[in-house]
A and B are shown apart, each in its own frame.
Chain A
């Protein structure tokens, strides 16, 4: 399990050890969603995930 900081609330965002680039992780404290952009050893880079758009879904 890796950790990164939530840009919204500063809580720790847990990243599962089997996470892969592109995966969505969310902050357990505030619910903000992040996309994993890079994995390097124990380090994970995150960026805010895209928000739901009108044409999303099925």
Chain B
């Protein structure tokens, strides 16, 4: 079995995935997506492997590459539809809500005009998030109307039309931590609490958040697996919070980073991922 691991920025995760694949007897190759181009009519980019594990950090690059690889007949983990749903927070929320997975109340405003109305309807404080990307970038708690107006004005100055629409979420009263579960198929590979660093409310490991492992109770595990399944399943990072009314899932990540979670567990997360990928091909 040969595995292609596509990337655009080589991180610890991709190197660890290659290493684990090889220790499992799988020939793995790291493929720089930035060096690829596709002839859409003729196809053909050489042989990239029996299965491709998509690890691009750029949402659109990842999405486009997956679509073209699938058109050439490759099995890609995760598939295009999953990447599309997870890469757009609006689509993720719709999938979660449809499946009955508890998720924070969310409104999408299609212009700056309606953003204010949406925030009023949710009630301050609200959380303003970008539709794609993140690591906590441009995610902010907005406590009042004046701050919202300032944020909206700032977003309007940005050149991309997607920044002129607004994803606004109720602010969940939670402890200074959230939950990251790494899921592979129907298995919760690792589940950690992520703690925000001092002076920060966001728990993203990219912002210095730290991880502590814990065993999810049955109810939480069920929610995590349901969240993963409702976006189409695969190798995913499900993020949840402890709200006063119970657990709520706020994100499902398509190209899950697990360096933080790995630092908290004594088993190999990349090994479990590779085992799933190989199974997905069969």
Residues of chain A touching chain B, judged by Cβ–Cβ distance below 8 Å, are 20-24, 35, 49-50, 52-58
Contact = CB atoms under 8 A, between A and B. Distances in A.
Given A22-B7, A56-B58, 5 more contacts: A24-B10, A50-B9, A54-B132, A57-B137, A58-B257
Nearest to B257: A58
Given A20-B30, A22-B30, A22-B32, A55 B133 contact: yes
Interface residues of B, number: 32
B160 A54 contact: yes
B10 A56 contact: no
B206 interface: yes
Contacts of A20: 10, 15, 30
Contacts of B60: 55
B233 interface: no
B10 A58 contact: no
B133 to A, nearest CB: 4
Contacts of B9: 24, 35, 49-50
Nearest to B158: A54
Contacts of B210: none
Contacts of B257: 58
Interface centre among B9, B34, B135, by most chain A C-beta atoms within 10 angstroms, is B9
Contacts of B10: 20, 22-24, 35
Contacts of A23: 10, 15
B30 A57 contact: no
A54 B30 contact: no
Interface string B46-68: 00000000000111110000000
Interface centre among B7, B58, B206, by most chain A C-beta atoms within 10 angstroms, is B58
Nearest to A23: B10
22 contacts: A20-B15, A20-B30, A21-B32, A23-B10, A23-B15, A24-B9, A24-B10, A50-B8, A52-B137, A53-B133, A54-B130, A55-B59, A56-B58, A56-B59, A56-B133, A57-B133, A57-B135, A57-B137, A58-B134, A58-B254, A58-B256, A58-B257
A57 B206 contact: yes
A52 B255 CA distance: 16
A49 B58 CA distance: 14
Interface string B115-133: 0000000000000001011
